[in-house]
Amino acid sequence: FVWGPLLQASAVTAFWVVLTAGLHIDGLADLADGLGGGWDKESRLRIMKDSSIGTYGALSVGLLLLLKTVLLFEVFSFDTSLSGAAFEIVLFTPAAGRFVQVCSIRFFPPAKKEGFGQYFKSGVKTSDVLIAAAITILTATAFWGLVGLGLVAAAILFMLAVGKYVSLRLGGLNGDSYGAIC
């Protein structure tokens, strides 16, 4: 009630980054650098292992944070209550990201036999996906009814498209890919 929509949106974006220690953002940056700078699977994976950020990574992080902030600004501009659509979106968005992350781990093969992709893959069971799906679908439908199901479906389609695109270039997904999908 005190801050304007732009400051609210910036604060939520910053809070999300701090809360997650930026892990998914780091994954996005590494994936963007690898896909943008590599010519084949091996060079892409080698670039992604490098801890420094390149042009593609920096641009992807900047654009992600800008888009998150602008989208939240739009939401906060229309809903100033603490219990309306803005509150629901602030809760649902990170949950949906984690849901599709779990799905991508389960549905796509790991890019390498060793590494975080394989490590995560070995830890995610079908029951984990079903639990994540139930929580996400129940939350979405409680907030928005059938429209909520559409949002969950859109998140799944996004995950499938990105997962397939990345898998074709890396031979599967790795830890950075999971973070980027989130």
pLDDT tens digits, one per residue of 9-26:
999 999 999 999 999 999
Q: What is the pLDDT of residue 80?
A: 65
**Nearest in space to 177 (alpha carbons), one of 106, 105, 78:** 105
pTM above 0.85, yes or no: yes
Is pLDDT at 81 greater than 70 in this prediction? no
Q: What is the pLDDT of residue 12?
A: 95
Mean pLDDT calculated for residue range 141-164? 97
In this prediction, residue 83 has a pLDDT band, given cuts at 50, 70 and 90, of low
Is pLDDT at 97 greater than 90 in this prediction? yes
Instruction: Read off the pLDDT of residues 35-71 as tens digits, 9 standing for 90 and up.
Output: 999 999 999 999 999 999 999 999 999 999 999 999 9
Is pLDDT at 1 greater than 90 in this prediction? no
HSE, CB side, 13 Å, CA atoms: give it for residue 163: 21
Coil, helix or strand at residue 18:
helix
Q: What is the pLDDT of residue 179?
A: 95
d(CA 173, CA 107): 10
d(CA 100, CA 98): 6
**Biggest alpha carbon distance in the chain?**
52
d(CA 108, CA 130): 16
Q: What is the pLDDT of residue 138?
A: 96
Is pLDDT at 82 greater than 70 in this prediction? no
Average per-residue pLDDT for the chain: 94
150-154's contacts with Cβ under 8 Å and 24+ in sequence apart are 151/92, 151/96, 152/96, 152/99
User: Who has greater pLDDT, 98 or 115?
Assistant: 98
